Amino acid sequence: IKPAMDYKIAEGDEIIVLAEDNDTYKAETDPVLVPPVTTTHPILPLEKVQEKVLVCGWRRDIQDMLVLLDNFVERGSQVHLVNELTMDERDNFLAASGVDMDAMENCTFEHHVGNTSVRRYLEPLPLESYTSIMVLCDFQRELDILNSDSHSLATVLLVRNLQKQRRDRLRESYFGPHVCEAISRWTRHATNKCPCITEILDPRTQKTVVANSTISNHSDFVMSNELISCMLAMISESREVKEILQQLLSPHSNTFTVQPSARYVGPHEVLSYMQLASRLVGVDELLVGYISKHNKTEAAVLNPKNKSAPKRWTHYDLIIITGGSTTHDKLTDVKRAVVGTIEDALRKTKAKPMLAALRKHGGPDDHTAADHAAKKRPSKGVGLVATQPPETRAMTRRSLTNRRLSKMAGSGSRGENRDIQITADVRRKLGLLNDEVQALLEQYDVRSG
């Protein structure tokens, strides 16, 4: 996704193009000359801070979201969960999904029970201290999408109203009511520092939100069903897109981020898109577009056509791709590819004998989160009204395979433990995996050579 600047395009390489469709772009026939930038601007490294996230609602696949969130945030971050499920229902739901929240490494979770569209349940929360907010569609309401969207909109408006009231009270304690009223008038179009993202299901709700600036300014709204449809459409047209999406959505690889333009450009600088992109290359970041800082109804601009026109960037935020390996360590790339291949094979075949062998090789004291949950509580039904029960997962925060491989690699001195029973089925599947890994290594050596 973000190769080194000294990488030379070779025969057989394919170029990833960011465009609306495969007939909406074309290659330039003449070379593009980028004028040198005469001014300098110090770019500080991205600051890593602890997050405090409010999650309203309980999706059917919330266990996957929590695992992914734990991978993205910094250690010591907090996640507050507010929904109508009781604690027993949440424990049973997560246990059936194979997720142990106590095993999360970066997040600590705080549970609150209540209806998020009712004021008395949100007032005790520290709404002024959250760094971001997510409003999810409750699975209990997913069969009535209009009711679900109405509940989500009510939650957003209530949260923003409570946040505003608390900010006003804090200002009045410092400046008085008249000064606070003037400040509110001056900053009524300012962007809220606490970003909020809201999930909606009905396309009619999306049209209502776009047409009403009062609602759209309170949150960013995402149609989750439409996102899934778009991803399936792209992958069905080109299977290689799946690998691109996996890298962009992985916490340990390249990923999209939005940064203020003031980090890269001075307030009076006038630069073209190409000049600004060249400046970002110096800090190993890739510029892919920009978005208006104040007008939320204005669409984001990705891969703009006129990249040579100079402009001021004060009123824009930049969309960049960051992260990933900068040293291109071959061993790290090969290990990730091998582990990814084994994980895919385990998920596709649901090879229980192989998982049992890996678990036994890892040691008697090492179990999955589902094993721990089963020991802690008696077996009983989930107790949730759901059309489909959650699917049991073979991994928790980290991949089960990754943990087992690390233990197997470090167990050379404990060679006396040889009581693992490798059945014919397990031996056959391991042989197939070995063939895939060898082919992957050979392919990697050819490309790197």
| pLDDT tens digits along 187-237 | 554 456 788 999 999 888 888 888 887 788 788 888 888 888 888 988 888
Q: For residues 209 and 197, is the Cβ–Cβ distance under 8 A?
A: no
Q: 326 or 78, which is more confident? A: 78
Tell me if 362 is assigned to some domain.
yes
* Same-domain check for residues 165 and 111: yes
Q: How confident is the model at residue 373 (pLDDT cuts 50, 70, 90)?
A: very low
* Same-domain check for residues 114 and 185: yes
Tell me if 370 is assigned to some domain.
yes
Q: What is the pLDDT of residue 396?
A: 38
Q: How confident is the model at residue 154 (pLDDT cuts 50, 70, 90)?
A: very high
Q: What is the pLDDT of residue 392?
A: 37
- For 42, phi then psi, to 5°, come to -65, 130
Per DSSP, the three-state class of 413 is coil
Cα–Cα distance for residue pair 431/429, rounded to 1 Å: 5
pTM of the model: 0.67
- CA-to-CA dists, residue 410 to 404, 406, 414, 441, 449, angstroms: 10, 6, 9, 22, 30
Q: For residues 194 and 156, is the Cβ–Cβ distance under 8 A?
A: no
* Same-domain check for residues 60 and 203: yes
Structure tokens at 318: 């930049």
Assess whether pLDDT exceeds 50 at residue 417: no
Contacts of 322 (CB under 8 A, 6+ apart): 2, 46, 254, 255, 257, 284, 285, 286
Cα–Cα distance for residue pair 152/58, rounded to 1 Å: 12
* Same-domain check for residues 221 and 276: no
Q: How confident is the model at residue 299 (pLDDT cuts 50, 70, 90)?
A: confident
Helix-helix angle 177-186:145-174, to 10 degrees: 130
Tell me if 82 is assigned to some domain.
yes
Q: How many Cβ atoms sit within 10 Å of the Cβ of residue 415?
A: 7
Q: What is the pLDDT of residue 134?
A: 95
Assess whether pLDDT exceeds 50 at residue 420: no
Tell me if 19 is assigned to some domain.
no
* Same-domain check for residues 338 and 303: no
Last residue of a domain, one of 165, 197, 231: 231
Q: How confident is the model at residue 108 (pLDDT cuts 50, 70, 90)?
A: very high
Mean pLDDT (whole number) for 374-401: 39
Beta-bridge partners for 271: 311
Assess whether pLDDT exceeds 50 at residue 377: no
Helix-helix angle 352-362:330-349, to 10 degrees: 130
Longest CA–CA separation in the chain, Å? 81
Per DSSP, the three-state class of 371 is helix
Considering only CA atoms, which of 291, 257, 290, 287 is closest in space to residue 275? 287
Element holding 55 (H helix, E strand): strand 52-56
Assess whether pLDDT exceeds 60 at residue 290: yes
Tell me if 389 is assigned to some domain.
yes
Q: For residues 395 and 388, is the Cβ–Cβ distance under 8 A?
A: no
Q: What is the CATH number of the domain that holds 203?
A: 3.40.50.720
Last residue of a domain, one of 322, 343, 364: 322
* Same-domain check for residues 221 and 317: no
Q: What is the pLDDT of residue 441?
A: 66
Last residue of a domain, one of 322, 343, 375: 322
Mean pLDDT (whole number) for 120-142: 92
Assess whether pLDDT exceeds 90 at residue 349: no
Q: Which residue matches tokens 């890593």?
A: 48
Structure tokens at 425: 């089925």
Q: What is the pLDDT of residue 28?
A: 80
Tell me if 163 is assigned to some domain.
yes
Structurally, the chain folds into a number of domains equal to 3
- CA-to-CA dists, residue 443 to 3, 435, 437, angstroms: 18, 12, 10
* Same-domain check for residues 70 and 210: yes
Q: How confident is the model at residue 180 (pLDDT cuts 50, 70, 90)?
A: low
* Same-domain check for residues 193 and 79: yes
Q: What is the pLDDT of residue 439?
A: 73
Mean pLDDT (whole number) for 243-268: 84
* Same-domain check for residues 272 and 336: no
* Same-domain check for residues 110 and 72: yes
Domain containing 310 equals 255-322
Tell me if 239 is assigned to some domain.
no
* Same-domain check for residues 60 and 155: yes
Q: For residues 328 and 371, is the Cβ–Cβ distance under 8 A?
A: no
* Same-domain check for residues 344 and 425: yes
Q: What is the pLDDT of residue 183?
A: 54
Q: How far is C-alpha 228 from the chain's CA centre? A: 14
Q: What is the pLDDT of residue 218?
A: 82
